[in-house]
Structure 1
Amino acid sequence: METLQLFLSILLLLLLLSTSSLAQNPKCSDRDQESTLEVLHIYSPCSPFRPSSPSLSWEESILQMQHEDQARLQFLSSLVAGKSVVPVASGRQIVQSPTYILRAKIGTPPQTLLMAMDTSNDAAWVPCSGCVGCPSSAAFDSAKSTTYRNVACKSPQCSQVSNPTCGGGACLFNMTYGSSTLAANLSRDTFTLASDPIPNYTFGCIQKATGSSVPPQGLLGLGRGPLSLLSQTQDLYKSTFSYCLPSFKSPGFSGSLRLGPTAQPLRIKFTPLLRNPRRPSLYYANLVAIRVGRKIVDIPPGALAFNPTTGGGTIFDSGTVFTRLVEPAYVAVRNEFRRRVGRNLTVTSLGGFDTCYSVPIVAPTMTFMFSGMNLTLPADNLLIHSTAGSITCLALAASPGDFNSVLNVIANMQQQNHRVLYDVPNSRLGVARELCT
């Protein structure tokens, strides 16, 4: 990844643009085709999630992203530990600050919303017209859709959401996250993704929100649970998808989500997908070793081992920004990285990043070695640089110890400019290098 200098300068430019919606910006026209959707970063000109203030310094922006990642990691850790029931649209960090979004058309005639793409959640949800406390910038107007229906209380889907209740025969549910509480109807309508209509798609239609962290336009879950896109479109997409996430240096911050087995890359190496029965939605893979340069780092086996009981192991996640390793693994990798960069160089820290340099460095490659597949990361996927180029940090960190995380997370910065293929029927995950623009 190129330095954050370009990222922040582009962000400043985007924030000064006068356009405020898809309709007002011709460059934000729908470029989805067949079963491939355009994936936008939150800082895209077409994104409703872009920050409202351009005044953050580089250090402040890094600290903010780290803070948001902390909440995301806490959410993921609660999932694997079995400490929470996952409701429709769960995930404190995902809904407050999504990283990648896509267009979904809902209803008949279709209404376009930009929804967060999330591989660690299942169900879809959107704020609906008339919602008390929801953002007024964009909402789904169910009254204008001829195909909209409420899900009945006795429907099997009603038992799959948190705290379901019955109102006039319709399935209602409540959820909380951060400082907000949401009330929603479980609903059905036609979802259109690219050129593919999906009739009777089950999702949450938010009716009331209180608190200061209300999500703008909703979420589309790409997990493996019963209400996920994969489960609801098995006949159409065969539980197969891939994405290519754009980096910050991409002018349009634009990548792609490819649904179904058609047109997936042929030259790609795979690793088996592992399944945690306690949290079957998450995409675990068997990380067996990490190599820095040519040296395989000495890591305690237990730090990488898949453990369904504790939730330990390694997942691929589209919503976390910076890869996290449990502390024994991170310390070993970090120390080898420091050794390869140069023992005599002074190491400083910035927030959760403890391997930063104030002079130019030459970074070694880093290879995450999975069963049957290696993911080798160049400097673009490993380093972040200050706006002025005076500070360079290794963009990895230890999993937070304050909530006893046992999870290694391969995050979206390390996935950028790679095609990541999820082949659920064959229980495998593939990665191939690709320029995602």
Structure 2
Amino acid sequence: LHVLKGHAHACSDAHKEAGPGSKIEPDLQQKASMGVKYISIILNAILVYLIPTIAIANETCGSQRDDSEVRVIPILGNCSPFKNESKSWEKSIIDMASKDPQRVQYLSSLLARRWKRSASTAPIASGQAFNIGNYVVRVKLGTPGQLFFMVLDTSTDEAWLPCSGCNGCSSSTTYSPQASTTYGGSVACSAPRCSQVRGALPCSSTASSACSFNQSYAGASFSATLVQDSLGLAIDTVPSYNFGCVNSVSGGSIPAQGLLGLGRGPLSLLSQSLSRYSGVFSYCLPSFKSYYFSGSLKLGPTGQPRRIRTTPLLRNPRRPSLYYVNLTGVTVGRVRVPLQTEFLAFDPNRGSGSIIDSGTVITRFVEPIYNAVRDEFRNQVKGPFVSIGAFDTCFVKTYETLAPLIKFHFTDLDLTLPFENILIHSTYGSVACLAMAAAPNNVNSVLNVIANYQQQNLRILFDTVNNRVGIARELCN
């Protein structure tokens, strides 16, 4: 724009300086006039193109498009009630990534088993999700709708949120059953659905008693009741949706406005809305840098990409909530990294393999896999390298031109990561880091987790009926 304006002013000034009595050639004056007109047309065309973008960037955060897409908002974004403007975005990512090891440990140890009703506590959702939320979605509970910004979690089945009268809840935004005309009451303890909740407490002598459960995690614990009400997602409504109504929290904090589970289990949103959405959803996660923009969550087969590469979705009966895929290898630059296949193999009994997860920040490979990938990356970039937080391969940006692309190989699908999904930069761009790390080195860390930083600006499609995952490029911002 500045260049075009400069040319326009230069032409205009030449025209004025020449004047009607000047000796400048008439055709040159005519060309100058035509140049101003053409450049004005170009500028107007550019402005017409830019105005909708400016309007989108400045739209009110409460607005909703007239379709079924649910807005996916970065936790650091302008439309998130949890944004922290005092932190730089990379400092916030470093803080979030520091919580990854606990989440990966939890996912690695999450084994399905026969849940016996007892007074002991057990999770209704993935434990680390209680302390981390990288993306939130706007949902409404009840009639009229009560607005919540709930954490989006693909490795959790159940949903929960704080209820009115909650003792110890950190948020003033709570769900009020009394204010909803569609509130269906609590689920009975004797109901089959209650037996699907992890940590359900023993039924009392009265068969109509409510389905209650307890949870404890990393110093924080809460108690809740399974209830039902209508769930509003964009322009859609899911009637009689079952979710946890948190009554008390102690010893720590949990996500202030709750969590929405998009796992594969019986209490997930997909299972409860199977007739409406046919077990299909996709999301496009915006970059953490997208302060003014949001991504989207598409529910159901309508509006999904028609041409999309897919890889089989694997089912682990012992960890039924997780989205397993078969990662067969990694290429760094032009080098197919030699990897020990036993650390990639899918084994339902051990729970090992690779999953796609929305709640982990940076991709975590089991240590032998990560070390091999990192070492090849370092070999091509040269270095020197330093560690910053969770990132052990950071280097001065002058070496960035040597940084190679990274490709993940899945069955029937190769994914070349966008360059911005490989490196994380400091605010002023002087330092770049490889945005991956090793999984916690303990007996339960058997999972490779494809995390949300590597999924940004990609459309990730989950089809639980046809057992497939699709990936396509898309500008989510």
TM-score normalised by the chain length of structure 1 = 0.89
What is the alpha-carbon distance in structure 1 between the residues aligned to residue 293 and residue 150 of structure 2?
16
Shift of 1:178: 2.1
Structure with higher Rg: it is 2
Distance 1:198 1:261, change over 3 A: same
Contact 1:245 1:415 in 2 (8 A): yes
One-letter code aligned to 1:117: L
Pairwise CA distance, 1:383: 0.4
Gaps of 5+ in 1: 1-24
Q: Which residue of 1 aligns with 2:196?
A: 160
Match for residue 174 of structure 2 among 104, 117, 139: 139
Structure number with higher helix proportion: 2
Amino acid of the structure 1 residue aligned with 2:106: F
Q: Which residue of 2 aligns with 1:116?
A: 151
Equivalent residue for 1:30? 63
After TM superposition, the structure 1 stretch with the greater mean CA deviation from structure 2, 225-234 or 152-161, is: 152-161
- Percent sequence identity is 52
Which residue of the partner structure matches residue 22 of structure 1? none
Moved more, 223-232 or 149-158: 149-158
d(CA) in 1 for partners of 2:290, 2:361? 16
* Aligned residue in 1 for 2:86: 54
Q: Which residue of 1 aligns with 2:106?
A: 75
Q: Describe the SS at the equivalent of 2:60.
A: helix
Q: Distance in 1 between matches of 2:349 and 2:189?
A: 33
Q: CA deviation at 1:33?
A: 3.8
1:117-266 alignment, distance < 5 Å:
117-148=152-183, 149-161=185-197, 162-166=199-203, 169-266=209-306
Q: 1:192 deviation in Å?
A: 1.3
Residue 223 of structure 1 deviates from its aligned partner by 0.4
1:349 correspondence with 2:387: yes
Distance 1:224 1:76 in 2: 14
Q: Deviations over 1:380-427 (max 9, x none)?
A: 001012223232111111111045411100000000000000011110
1:215 offset after TM fit, Å? Answer: 2.2
Secondary structure at the aligned position of 1:223 is classed as coil
Distance in 1, Cα, partners of 2:177 & 2:242: 13
Please say if residues 458 and 475 of structure 2, whose CA atoms lie closer than 8 Å, have aligned partners that are also in contact. Answer: yes
8 Å contact kept, 1:88–1:122? no
Alpha-carbon distance in structure 2 between the residues aligned to 1:62 and 1:26: 26
> Does the CA contact (< 8 Å) of 1:81 and 1:311 recur in 2?
no
**CA deviation profile, 1:39-73 (whole Å, cap 9, x unmatched):** 0010112213324x725795x54542232112211
Q: Secondary structure at the match of 2:247?
A: strand
Question: Are 1:113 and 1:217, in contact at CA under 8 Å, matched by a contact in 2?
Answer: yes
- 1:55–1:200 distance in 2 versus 1, CA, 3 Å: closer
| Equivalent in the alignment of 2:358 | 318
How many angstroms apart in 2 are the aligned matches of 1:236 and 1:219?
Answer: 21
Q: Distance in 1 between matches of 2:216 and 2:410?
A: 36
The size of the alignment, in residue pairs, is 409
**Residues 432 and 201 (structure 1), Cα distance of their counterparts in 2 relative to 1, 3 Å cut:** same
AA in 1 matched with 2:290: S
Provide the rounded CA distance (Å) in 2 between the counterparts of 1:376 and 1:80.
32
Q: Indicate if the aligned counterparts of 1:130 and 1:207 stay in contact, CA closer than 8 A.
A: yes
Answer 1 or 2: which has greater strand percent.
1
Q: Which secondary structure does the structure 2 equivalent of 1:231 belong to?
A: helix
1:142, 1:403 → 2: CA distance? 43
Aligned mate of 1:332, from 356, 362, 372:
372
1:270 pairs with one of 299, 302, 310: 310
Residue by residue over 1:15-47, the C-alpha shift from the partner in whole angstroms, topping out at 9 and shown as x without a partner, is xxxxxxxxxx97211325432100001011221
What CA distance in whole angstroms lies between the structure 2 residues aligned with 1:375 and 1:262?
A: 24
| Cα distance in 1, alignment partners of residues 181 and 88 from structure 2 | 45
Aligned partner of 1:9 in structure 2 is: none
Q: Is the 8 A contact 1:88 1:204 kept in 2?
A: no
Other-structure match for 1:4: none
Correspondence for 2:476: 436
User: C-alpha deviations, 1:75-96, integer Å up to 9, x for none?
Assistant: 2122159799995642232122
Asked whether the equivalents of residues 105 and 444 of structure 2 are also in contact (C-alpha less than 8 Å), the reply is no
Q: Note the C-alpha offset of 1:133.
A: 1.0
Shift of 1:331: 1.2
Which residue of 2 is the match for residue 44 of structure 1? Answer: 77
CA distance in 1: counterparts of 2:174 and 2:278, whole angstroms: 30
Task: Report the TM-score, using the length of structure 2 for normalisation.
Answer: 0.81
Tell me, what secondary structure is at the counterpart of 2:99? helix
| Counterpart in the other structure of 2:53 | none
Gaps of 5+ in 2: 1-57
Deviation at 1:219, TM superposition (A): 0.7
Structure 1 residues 404, 169: closer, same or farther in 2, change over 3 A? closer
